[in-house]
Structure 1
Amino acid sequence: MAVATTIEGLAPTVAPTPAPVRPRRRSERFTIGSTIVVVIYALCCLVPFWVIIASSLTDESEVSRTGYSFFPSDFSLEAYAQIFGGSSFVINAYVASVFITVIGTALALSATSGLAWVISRRESRFSRPLAFYTYIPLLLSGGLVPLYILVTQYLQLRNTWWAVILPLAVSPFLVFVQMQFFREIPQALIDSARIDGANELRIFFTIVLPISKPILAVIGLFYGVTYWNEWFTALLFISDKELQPLQQVLQMMIGNVSAAQAIQPAAEASAPIYQLRMALTVVTMGPILLAYPFAQRYFVKGLTLGATKG
């Protein structure tokens, strides 16, 4: 307890001690409730993935008899052995998917960054026309038939990996997302570079791109996931089995048993169809899942604010 100041001739008085502030129980309940919801959602995402892994490690006869389970009751690596050692079919598909994803992501990220930067610089005479032509595909689409005629008849890209890369090279939505990020870059930073004699290309490559790592990582991840998971465009334009990407092979296996038998070595009688589907799904999801931890640290935007603080 605190003692109050006294006046001459008067006895000292004792000031009341303020009651301690109790933490709000409402915030604790919200934290506990949100944690439970997040855990349940994480389990809903992880359980199917674990079932796929367990089924890929279960013998084909056991999967046919009891169906998919949480734990491999009869452990077997036959499907993985056939994927990586039985035939070059999956290896070629893996090479195709890696090429399409890497080259496509690099090309799309370059095109999107350049287009977004020009649109964000409002003083350029190309800004408004490019923004208009970028906005139109968000509202209207030419359709599947014009795209097919363009790629096969005019561009002559049938049975090439470029038939999958070029149609997905620019996403209008991602262009406007990156454009908004570029507009938040302090104008003082651009003006100081111009005073020092830097032209537009040097400003873009030496100043803008280094401080745009968060948005570049996010946009690149979106494009990488799109290219890696794309199978419909490959189904339209690629019929050569040596050029088909991994997702197209997986889609064909799901709907056609003979596609799964193409992976089978010639000396064997039958291929583990169900186990092979699950194993190929695991092999397909693996690389793209490993890409998320490397891009996650760039998701928090903070480099732009630090650029003007030295």
Structure 2
Amino acid sequence: MVTKRTWSGKVFDIFNTLFMLFMIVITLYPFYYVITCSISDSNMIIGDKGLMLLPKGFSMGAYQMVMRNPNILSSYRVTLILVVVGTLVNVLMTSIGAFVLSRKRFAIKKTLTILIIFTMYFSGGMIPGYLLTYKVLHLGNTLWALILPGAISTYNLIIMRTNFIAIPDSLEESAKIDGANEIVILFKIILPLSLPILAVMTLFYGVGHWNSWFNAMLFIRDRAKYPLQLILREILLLNSTDAMTGDASSVDKYNIGESIKYATIIVATLPILVVYPFIQKYFVKGMLIGAVKG
């Protein structure tokens, strides 16, 4: 049955559409502004304080200087290692933990779940965590210090556990009749049926590793092991662009340094923006699967 829209409904649709378009503009404009400034002439954008609708001049010099910076290239390599290795460790450990907590016949399941949830609200703090990483685990100044202490997120663990509980028990029972053990059930039945939630976990952990800088500031001393976001922080907050501006005068260094900041933001953000659309379709589905049962 087709219902005829009233005039008030049409007015609402118009205002709703205009409001959503306005929200899209104010959300996307900061990205557009950074891109525009990064390809503009550095001497022309310094005195400009208004809206940047079109590039002022055109120059790729900032990107060339960024890519010539050895710190950027080495930090890119470190970040890619952290994202790939760290995400694999995170997803594997979270899957195993969620599988254990989803077993109905596991004797201490409730007690263990309470203890794990307790860590969401209370932690030892930064200093005990620092001492644990350096003095007990001896992971100081290694990339493992950025991966192993946070191998499992409690929030992600609970989401994946809820997803595993929603899988019918009949599938596992039939597998056990055929002689499958718990490891085979996890990797041959549970995980293949949980691709949407695995995609969500990969997105959560991958973006977390890509954006992380605080732990690296605490635990990494060797500059060659700095991740990309820590280098980006130095460039944006500490204004450390002298290594990329060469022998330019102080005024030119300041002007070029501003363009380098914008270019570095684009270089550090672009990979996530490119990858996200390919797994975004799994995001909502995976989150809803984890929200059906509690």
Q: What runs of 5+ residues in structure 1 fail to find an aligned partner? A: 1-19, 306-310
**Are 2:71 and 2:231, in contact at CA under 8 Å, matched by a contact in 1?**
no
Residue identity in the other structure for 2:191: L
Deviation at 1:108, TM superposition (A): 0.5
Aligned pair partner of 2:134 in 147, 152, 162 = 152
Deviation at 1:201, TM superposition (A): 0.9
Residue identity in the other structure for 1:289: L
Aligned to 1:80: 63
- CA separation of 1:92 and 1:134: change in aligned 2, threshold 3 A: same
Aligned to 1:70: 53
Counting aligned pairs with the same residue, the percent is: 35
Aligned to 1:38: 20
CA distance, structure 2, for counterparts of residue 184 and residue 28 of structure 1: 42
CA distance, structure 1, for counterparts of residue 154 and residue 10 of structure 2: 42
Task: Indicate whether 1:301 and 2:285 are aligned.
Answer: yes
- CA separation of 1:61 and 1:32: change in aligned 2, threshold 3 A: same
Aligned to 2:183: 201
CA distance, structure 1, for counterparts of residue 89 and residue 244 of structure 2: 32
**Are 1:118 and 1:126, in contact at CA under 8 Å, matched by a contact in 2?**
no
Aligned pair partner of 1:262 in 225, 237, 243 = 243
TM-score when scaled to structure 1?
A: 0.84
Aligned to 2:106: 124
Going by fraction, where is helix more abundant, 1 or 2? 2
Deviation at 1:66, TM superposition (A): 1.8
Aligned to 2:230: 248
Task: Indicate whether 1:284 and 2:268 are aligned.
Answer: yes
Task: Indicate whether 1:110 and 2:92 are aligned.
Answer: yes
Q: What runs of 5+ residues in structure 2 fail to find an aligned partner? A: 290-294
> SS in structure 2 opposite 1:97?
helix
CA distance, structure 1, for counterparts of residue 96 and residue 30 of structure 2: 40
- What are the Cα deviations for residues 203-226 of structure 1, in whole angstroms up to 9, with x where unaligned? 111111111000000111011111
CA distance, structure 1, for counterparts of residue 222 and residue 245 of structure 2: 18
- CA separation of 1:119 and 1:77: change in aligned 2, threshold 3 A: same
Larger radius of gyration: 1
Deviation at 1:67, TM superposition (A): 4.4
TM-score when scaled to structure 2?
A: 0.88
Deviation at 1:28, TM superposition (A): 5.3
Name which of structure 1's ranges 57-66 and 210-219 shifts more when overlaid on structure 2: 57-66
> SS in structure 1 opposite 2:225?
coil
> SS in structure 2 opposite 1:177?
helix
Residue identity in the other structure for 2:285: K
**Are 1:217 and 1:298, in contact at CA under 8 Å, matched by a contact in 2?**
yes
CA distance, structure 1, for counterparts of residue 221 and residue 41 of structure 2: 32
Which residues of 2 match residues 86-101 of structure 1 at below 5 A?
A: 86-101=68-83
Give the total of aligned pairs.
282
Deviation at 1:31, TM superposition (A): 4.9
**Are 1:151 and 1:163, in contact at CA under 8 Å, matched by a contact in 2?**
yes
Residue identity in the other structure for 2:243: A
**Are 2:45 and 2:56, in contact at CA under 8 Å, matched by a contact in 1?**
no
**Are 1:79 and 1:275, in contact at CA under 8 Å, matched by a contact in 2?**
yes
Deviation at 1:299, TM superposition (A): 2.9
Which residues of 2 match residues 175-194 of structure 1 at below 5 A?
A: 175-194=157-176
